[in-house]
Structure 1
Amino acid sequence: MGINEELRDHFGRRAGGIRVEPSSLREIRARARRRRRNQRLAAGITVLALIAGIIISVQAIANDNESPLETRFVDTPEPSVATPQPEDGDRSQDVRPPETENGDKKSLTPPATPEQTPTHTPEPTVPVTETQPAEPEQTPTHTPEPTVPVTETQPAENGGAEPSQSGTAMIPEPVAAPAPDDRYTAIFAGGFHTCGLRTDQTVLCWGDIINQPDGLFTAVATGSFHACGLRTDQTITCWGGDVSGETSPPQGQFLSVAAGNGYSCGLGTDQTITCWGFSGWGTTKVPPGQFTAITARASHVCGLRTDQYVVCWGYNRSGETEPPFRQFIDVVAGLEHTCGLRPDHTVECWGDNSHGQLDAPQGQFNSISTGGWHTCGLRPNQTATCWGYNYYGQIFTPPGEYLWISTGLEHTCGIRINQTAVCWGRNYDDRTIPPPGQFTAIDSEATFSCGLRPDQTIECWGEDFAGVLDAPEGLFVSVNVGSAHACGVRVDGTATCWGHHGSGRASPPSGQFLSVAAGWLHSCGLRPDQSVTCWGGNREGQTNAPAGQFITLDVVGDNACGLRPDRTVACWGSTVTLGPDTNPPEGQFTSVSVGDGGHACGLRPDQTIFCWGNSTAGQTDAPSGEFSAVFSGRFNACGLRLDQTAECWGLGSEGQLAAPQEPFTALAAGRNFTCGSRPDQTVVCWGNGNRTALLPEYFSP
């Protein structure tokens, strides 16, 4: 099973987060209205703050007119400017690939962030020629350029950043400085998380990964969904998501560590490289020889040999593993490009140049870091220069001097000379804070949730991409959330879908339905005659619903399962999700829930839960006892006990298993968060719903 199937969508159990374009002028206008509303609100708050500041200042002068009024300046970012976000839900490149016009999928490789490798300058020897590995079947696809321009307001200074090579630049979201006690010697930006090495050699992570281990470290490497650290005793410890053994390093001592997408690598004290975890791209097939540095990101790895020549291996979509036959003193791997630092301290890059990420500016650099589609470097005068993709302002470096710089997928972080950390670029919406008020039903998926109000209207929250939060007006009896779209049944029995319309997933047929369920590229509905009708992409046979009657229906990703009137379960769609045989276990069930972690769970008539399929994270290890309902998430599942308390199992590295000890009437499990509906019809969510890779103070150490 490939890693893109195991980790289809880091953001949801149904592989959402596809980078998409706005589907209609209505969506663009709706976003413009929300943007204007937010701008008016921000302006009002600013005016009130200014008035309050004037009043306080006048009072201070009146109380102490013997000493002049002091003005304290704090090193914080500029006030925020409301800017539109692109119409995409792409959180990383591990999401399910965007489909072609006929619904076929293009595979997409999730990125990881390489560690910052110290510069080495060994004595050059005789150069060697490396043979490129064979190209694997899975083909990563870079994210397309957003097609809707946004208004750009250039900052007064960009810290020496070169102009954007492609895309429409946006103002970077302001980032509050870390707490005064936090001082860092190094910082490492990952796909959706960041880790900093404090001056006391402890590690603090924020964003998707917050469960950093205790102890002292000398270096950290951030991958797509996990991180690894080099301890002071030169052993490696990894944490975060673990699907292919990427967080299980071998024993022994190492000089440095690197983390990619589903795999990790270490440079041993004997100067040989060892890699572990997912090997589908050939990333763990290390060439022989000795190295002085190692870097990894997404699906390729590069090493700097002792003769100062670079050799790369893994997947080679855009020439990222084809280094020039020249000497380098450092090398860093990006998503589909690689850059090296020459002995004269100039930068040379190779691979994908779709966003100008290879167009390094002239001049010298002391260090470089490659991100998803952008690259940054530190000049000898300690200023930072970035180039490449700039939709989210990730190359607009704040002015000042830096000791360290690190690029993530769509954000960048640096350490100032006072050892404080600052980050800029893309921030993400918080999806664990539902709107106030009552709901009669909720459903969570990918990066957003939707709920049915007591007045039968629908309200959605989370990240707005492709119009998924723009629920249509009118009255509904049910709502179901997919990866990049949602569907509801109106009071007249007709189905309405909104969000991403690719492959026809959001275009239901006419007629009446009892319920609808949204997947990744397709949707299915249960008709009044209890037959199932599906529409949308059919690459995996997911719209080929079996004949016969069903009483319930659940759709996730490319799979669907239904409960027949005789209480047996039938499933169809991709054989990848639930294994080579999609047939569920024999026996009767009262309900069934399909997860996108390669598993499904059903509730037996005796009120026990039985799960089957992939159990990499323990998602099929259902607890014993009696339950009234079961809900499957990405690599986790939750059950509702008879006393209405929730119990969850499986992957819980981001708090998605830590259900509050209170009664619930229903649950909804997402990729890295879970929501519950209380008896008073209010909603509470838990887990890491805020994919903020920028603000460390949001997360406690």
Structure 2
Amino acid sequence: MSTLRPHQRKSRLKAALLGSLVAVLMLPGGPARAAGAGTPDQRALRPGVPGTALAWGNNFEGQLGDGTTVEQSNSPTPVCGAAPCIDPLHGVIAVSGGDEYSVALRSDGTVLTWGDNTHGQLGDGTTTNSTTPRRVCAVGQTAPCSAFLDDIVAVSAGFAHTTALRANGTVVAWGLNDHGQLGNPITTDSSVPVPVCVTNDCGFLLNDVVSIAAGANHTLALHTNGEVDTWGDDRHSQLGRPTSTGRVFRVCASDPFDFCRPLQNVASVAAGGDHSVVVHRGGSVLAWGENDLGQLGDGTTTEQLVPVPVCDTGATAPCGSFLSGITAVAAGDKHTVAVAAGGSVRAWGGIGRLGDGTGNGSTTPVAVCAEGSTAPCAGFLAGITAIAAGGSHTVALAADGTVLTWGDNSLGELGNGTGDYIGGKSPVHVCAVGQTAPCDRQLTCAVAVGAGYSHTLAVVRP
């Protein structure tokens, strides 16, 4: 049982993350893809099977949504439908986690949030924390709100700001705004959604967006033409070009001080603590931003202003071959994970986050081991259809509906019934609701996953 209190945890974080951290899903007859991506027509179709929301891990600020602030839960617990906590939250198709709060998208296009609300990241018009879900207000509302968001197709949570993609291809954001995270001319936090703009007077809104990903304090938006916009914090070059706080700019594929040739042919995006990652339509992976623990996967620890290719599995710098066949990526605070065709997983970055059985870090991709393996792995993880990266842990959804996790477990974020690091070097199965170690039942029937900095989320069918 951890004795860390919230202020102690925050003091050890440079930038927290992120559940948003893009999850991927396997569509029938097709490859894994970024949630919310597609053509304009597909954008209006909210992918996902409605189910019940579950959460586990750190609960200091009520981010598990179970009506309590009990320090942590080492196995899944149902998120409340409302206060008082009688029935679980149903009708959920996607979940995302921030530092100490959570976001859920329902099949009717409404958005619910719970947990820490210091900066208005719950979007309910207040800055009051909540241990149970609240509806996010509509744009322009003030508390008590009488109208609410109802046309959302994707959500993504950062450290303390939240972004949501509307069915018309525009984006709204709310919460912390000290580095321009909201992409809006305002310079203060907002406790209700505001539109993301492309001009200082907000005369033109960001549009034609098919996918979003929120990092700790920055956001990526993927357009239908395969180009990418970024906004927010740029202290570690995570925006992909020199820019000013609050402005929305296109990511460059070449040196922006020479000539900014826009990055093109992008299929999916992910945002980490202070780094960004994209998958090309051909299956290669590019990354840029902070790289102190090798989270860019280029074989170095050098910060990169513009996208660089991620090395192939096991390569060393200077790399002569590069990662390919990737269908989607997710980014944590200091690590990155990628799903390849067939559902195998690669990971790179900080110590203890990679699931390769060693507990080490790596500046190039390594294969994630099968459940319970130790290095050298006897087998490797396969059949993964969705993945999300938290601060120092990863959660993966398997084709059979079970959920696996690896990495840090000091606050129960692995959901395997324990609250320590045991088992974190390689994947472990998440226990069924209410189980304690050694669990005799695994979580099943899961259809979506998400990860906050030190808590984890899932959606299960009834």
With the shorter chain as reference, the TM-score category is 0.5 to 0.7
Whole-Å separation in 1 of the counterparts to 2:348 and 2:449? 20
User: How far off its partner does 1:655 sit?
Assistant: 2.1
User: How far off its partner does 1:520 sit?
Assistant: 2.1
Whole-Å separation in 2 of the counterparts to 1:97 and 1:612? 19
RMSD of aligned alpha carbons: 2.9
**In structure 1, the residue corresponding to 2:11 is in which secondary structure?**
coil
**Which residue identity is paired with 2:215?**
G
Select 1:472's aligned residue among 137, 140, 146: 137
* Cα pair 1:633 1:669 within 8 Å, conserved: yes
User: How far off its partner does 1:448 sit?
Assistant: 0.8
Whole-Å separation in 1 of the counterparts to 2:162 and 2:336? 21
Whole-Å separation in 2 of the counterparts to 1:456 and 1:671? 25
**In structure 2, the residue corresponding to 1:514 is in which secondary structure?**
strand
Name the structure 2 match of 1:610. 346
Deviations 1:70-108 (A, max 9, x none): xxxxxxxxxxxxxxxxxxx9953223379xxxxxxxxxx
Whole-Å separation in 2 of the counterparts to 1:496 and 1:517? 12
Select 1:580's aligned residue among 290, 301, 304: 301
Whole-Å separation in 2 of the counterparts to 1:534 and 1:620? 32
Deviations 1:327-375 (A, max 9, x none): xxxxxxxxxxxxxxxxxxxxxxxxxxxxxxxxxxxxxxxxxxxxxxxxx
Whole-Å separation in 2 of the counterparts to 1:497 and 1:90? 28
* Cα pair 1:618 1:651 within 8 Å, conserved: no
Select 1:492's aligned residue among 168, 185, 188: 168
Q: Report % sequence identity.
A: 23
Q: Which moved more, 1:571-580 or 1:555-564?
A: 571-580
Whole-Å separation in 1 of the counterparts to 2:15 and 2:156? 22
Select 1:517's aligned residue among 209, 213, 220: 213
C-alpha spacing 1:615/1:90, structure 2 compared with 1 (3 Å):
closer
* Cα pair 1:526 1:532 within 8 Å, conserved: yes
State whether structure 2 residue 264 is matched by structure 1 residue 548. Answer: yes
Whole-Å separation in 1 of the counterparts to 2:356 and 2:154? 28
State whether structure 2 residue 279 is matched by structure 1 residue 563. Answer: yes
* Cα pair 1:479 1:486 within 8 Å, conserved: yes
Select 2:116's aligned residue among 463, 475, 478: 463
Aligned residues: 270
Whole-Å separation in 1 of the counterparts to 2:455 and 2:78? 7
User: How far off its partner does 1:667 sit?
Assistant: 0.7
Name the structure 2 match of 1:442. 95
User: How far off its partner does 1:532 sit?
Assistant: 0.3
**In structure 2, the residue corresponding to 1:449 is in which secondary structure?**
strand
Query: Which has the greater radius of gyration?
Result: 1
Select 1:663's aligned residue among 424, 445, 450: 445
**In structure 2, the residue corresponding to 1:498 is in which secondary structure?**
strand
Matching of residues 42-441 of structure 1 within 5 Å: 92-96=10-14, 207=71, 433-435=79-81, 436-441=89-94
Matching of residues 662-681 of structure 1 within 5 Å: 662-680=444-462
Deviations 1:451-479 (A, max 9, x none): 11111011111121211111332311111
Structure 2 length as normaliser, TM-score? 0.54
Name the structure 2 match of 1:130. none
Name the structure 1 match of 2:50. none
**Which residue identity is paired with 1:637?**
T
Select 1:630's aligned residue among 379, 387, 391: 387
* Cα pair 2:15 2:274 within 8 Å, conserved: no
Name the structure 2 match of 1:165. none
Whole-Å separation in 2 of the counterparts to 1:629 and 1:653? 24
Deviations 1:550-594 (A, max 9, x none): 111111211111111101111111122516157423222111111
- Structure 1 residue runs without a partner (length 5+): 1-9, 12-16, 18-88, 99-191, 194-205, 211-429, 681-701
User: How far off its partner does 1:625 sit?
Assistant: 3.4
**Which residue identity is paired with 2:230?**
C
User: How far off its partner does 1:643 sit?
Assistant: 0.7
C-alpha spacing 1:656/1:209, structure 2 compared with 1 (3 Å):
closer
* Cα pair 2:237 2:289 within 8 Å, conserved: yes
Whole-Å separation in 2 of the counterparts to 1:92 and 1:539? 19
Structure 1 length as normaliser, TM-score? 0.36
**In structure 1, the residue corresponding to 2:159 is in which secondary structure?**
coil
Whole-Å separation in 1 of the counterparts to 2:396 and 2:445? 12
**Which residue identity is paired with 1:461?**
W
C-alpha spacing 1:519/1:606, structure 2 compared with 1 (3 Å):
same
User: How far off its partner does 1:650 sit?
Assistant: 1.5
**In structure 1, the residue corresponding to 2:266 is in which secondary structure?**
coil
* Cα pair 1:552 1:562 within 8 Å, conserved: yes
Name the structure 1 match of 2:410. 653
Whole-Å separation in 2 of the counterparts to 1:97 and 1:558? 8
Name the structure 2 match of 1:285. none
C-alpha spacing 1:97/1:566, structure 2 compared with 1 (3 Å):
closer
C-alpha spacing 1:432/1:553, structure 2 compared with 1 (3 Å):
farther
User: How far off its partner does 1:209 sit?
Assistant: 11
**Which residue identity is paired with 1:552?**
S
Whole-Å separation in 1 of the counterparts to 2:336 and 2:182? 24
**Which residue identity is paired with 2:210?**
L
**In structure 2, the residue corresponding to 1:504 is in which secondary structure?**
coil
- Structure 2 residue runs without a partner (length 5+): 17-59, 62-69, 82-88, 124-135, 139-148, 184-195, 198-204, 241-250, 254-262, 303-307, 312-322, 358-367, 371-379, 417-429, 433-441
Name the structure 2 match of 1:643. 400
Whole-Å separation in 2 of the counterparts to 1:93 and 1:625? 34
C-alpha spacing 1:637/1:532, structure 2 compared with 1 (3 Å):
same
Structure with the largest fraction of helix: 1
User: How far off its partner does 1:610 sit?
Assistant: 1.2
* Cα pair 2:347 2:354 within 8 Å, conserved: no
User: How far off its partner does 1:433 sit?
Assistant: 3.5
* Cα pair 1:472 1:498 within 8 Å, conserved: no
**Which residue identity is paired with 1:468?**
Q
**In structure 1, the residue corresponding to 2:446 is in which secondary structure?**
coil
